[in-house]
Structure 1
Amino acid sequence: MDIVWIDFTNPAFLNPLLLTLKVAGLATLNSLVIGVAAAYVLARWNFFGRDFVDAVCTLPIVMPPTVLGYYLLVFIGRRGVVGHWLQDTFGITLMFTWQGATIAATVVAFPLVFKSARAALEGVGEQYENAARTLGLGEFALFLRVSLPLALRGVLSGGMLAFARAMGEFGATLMVAGNLPGKTQTLSLAVYSAVQAGNDGLANTLVLIISLVCVAILMTTSKLLKPQF
């Protein structure tokens, strides 16, 4: 397997790397906020249609990336429900932008945070929360001061998996943001471009870098999930 040495200051490598970190970081932050909130609601309240909501939140894990990309086009495309409104009202276009790539990465990363956070929150003993309620804590304060700290390891592991997933996002990002060097080209898209151009050495090097980062994240996640005695 051919490996080439990369000049890390070269914009051809540096731009996709920085963009990938920005997109993955923002997507992870979005997923943590929305995913933990959704997980808490589904873990603590029993309501009609809860199983359906759970299935919808989990759907991006099993749905083909191109289908996710199509749904995103329907919503945030120039003729989409939200995209058309943003264009007409604020002059904002999400297509072929890094913001669009962030939305795509958020959608595919969200279920990993949601499932991990829900499992962690359901594992929090109700006796702790009930004790906090007797001390006068409201539901929001109870979540911040009791439930979330006790479930933090599970939430963090989900966030790390979401970051790794967002780093490797390809299909939905390609449909929504395109593959524009210096603008929307992430590392995974740079690998695709290198393969298309026949530059196997560069492709192998980029794949190796992404793989090492993902392995490091998975090893750290595994340690977080180990029981503490």
Structure 2
Amino acid sequence: MQWLLDLTPDEWDAVRLSIKVSAVAMVFSLPPGIIIALLLARGRFWGKSILNGIVHLPLILPPVVTGYLLLITFGRRGPVGAFLDQHFGIVFSFRWTGAALACGIMAFPLMVRAIRLSIEAVDRKLEAAAGTLGANPLWVFGTITLPLILPGIVAGMILAFAKAMGEFGATITFVSNIPGETQTLPSAIYTFTQVPGGNAGALRLTIISIIIAMAALVASEVVARRISRRIEIE
């Protein structure tokens, strides 16, 4: 165990940065994730299939392609990146915030799918009953729908976090592999595999990645079960 925890400062930086990037990606993905999941589950509009395809596109595209699209769009010379840089001083390329953006986009489909399935499982009769009692749609969503889909939201958040922790292709293409700035756990593991004698460091970080991912998945299951039981009791 001491061997596992005997990390260098750069390795600790990679661990902390990965957790930070994954947490930020998860939190900022949640509001649009709920909205889009609701649209896909309940909405009836032209282009719904197109929206569904766009949302799930990062799952089937090579991660490097997604990273390159982010680079030409949010890079300093990209249309969105140049606008944000000139008017707001916000820069994504080769920054940890760009890593969070890339991880959020790659994890977004998993979050949306988990929340969408939860929404589709809600009994519409409960919402209709609340509506007949005079509750407006926003109140119905906040008091009926949202509590019922909380397990799906939690599951989606944790899945997104775990996916973000393991993202490599899109991140390294968009923000490179800068120690202390954009070098996450997958990037650090890749770096170790490219240098002589780096097997020990790569193995340490690999085990830590597995532990964090498994802990996140177990936590998701435990929290979702507790929320489900509380909802059933109420």
- Is the contact between residue 6 and residue 13 of structure 1 (CA under 8 Å) also seen in structure 2? no
Shift of 1:203: 0.2
Partner-residue secondary structure (3-state), 1:179: coil
Tell me how many residue pairs correspond in the alignment. 226
Aligned with 1:72 (options 56, 61, 70): 70
**Cα distance in 2, alignment partners of residues 89 and 29 from structure 1:** 25
The code of the aligned residue for 2:119 comes to L
Q: What CA deviation, in whole Å up to 9, does each residue of 1:154-203 have, x standing for no partner?
A: 12111111100001111111011111111111111111111111300010
| Alignment-derived partner of residue 15 in structure 2 | 17
- List alignment gaps of at least 5 residues for structure 2: none
User: Per-residue deviation at 1:32?
Assistant: 1.6
8 Å CA contact 1:157, 1:225 repeated in 2: no
Matches within 5 A, 1:49-198: 49-198=47-196
With the length of structure 1 as denominator, give the TM-score of the two structures: 0.91
Task: Tell me which residue corresponds to 1:209.
Answer: 208
Partner Cα separation in structure 1 for residue 208 and residue 192 of structure 2: 14
Alpha-carbon deviation of 1:222?
Answer: 4.9
Mapped to 1, the partners of 2:144 and 2:215 lie a distance apart of: 30
Q: C-alpha separation between the residues in 2 aligned to 1:28 and 1:91? A: 23
Instruction: Give, in angstroms, the shift of residue 34 of structure 1.
Output: 1.2
Give, in whole Å, the separation in 1 of the partners of 2:67 and 2:33: 20
**Letter in structure 1 aligned against 2:6:** D
Give how far 1:144 is off: 1.8
User: d(CA) in 1 for partners of 2:90 and 2:124?
Assistant: 45
1:5–1:215: structure 2 CA closer, same or farther, 3 Å change rule? closer
Displacement of 1:221 in angstroms is 4.1
Determine if contact 1:16/1:185 at 8 Å carries over to the other structure.
yes
Give the distance between the partners of 1:225 and 1:174, measured in 2 at CA.
36
Please say if residues 116 and 158 of structure 1, whose CA atoms lie closer than 8 Å, have aligned partners that are also in contact: yes
Indicate if the aligned counterparts of 1:154 and 1:225 stay in contact, CA closer than 8 A.
no
- For residue 29 of structure 2, the aligned residue among 28, 31, 54 is 31
What SS class does the counterpart of residue 151 from structure 1 fall into? Answer: helix
The alpha-carbon deviation at position 124 of structure 1 amounts to: 0.3
What is the CA–CA distance in structure 2 between the aligned matches of 1:141 and 1:182, rounded to whole Å? 45
C-alpha distance in structure 1 between counterparts of 2:59 and 2:221, whole Å: 20
Q: Shift in Å at residue 215 of structure 1?
A: 2.3
- Report the more deviating stretch, 38-47 or 131-140: 131-140
Q: CA deviation at 1:7?
A: 2.9
* Cα deviation 1:101-140 (Å, max 9, x = unaligned): 1100110011111001011001101011111212222222
Which structure would you say has the larger RCO, counting Cα contacts within 8 Å and 6 or more residues apart?
Answer: 1
Q: TM-score, normalised by structure 2?
A: 0.89
The residue type paired with residue 217 of structure 1 is A
Q: Percent identity?
A: 38
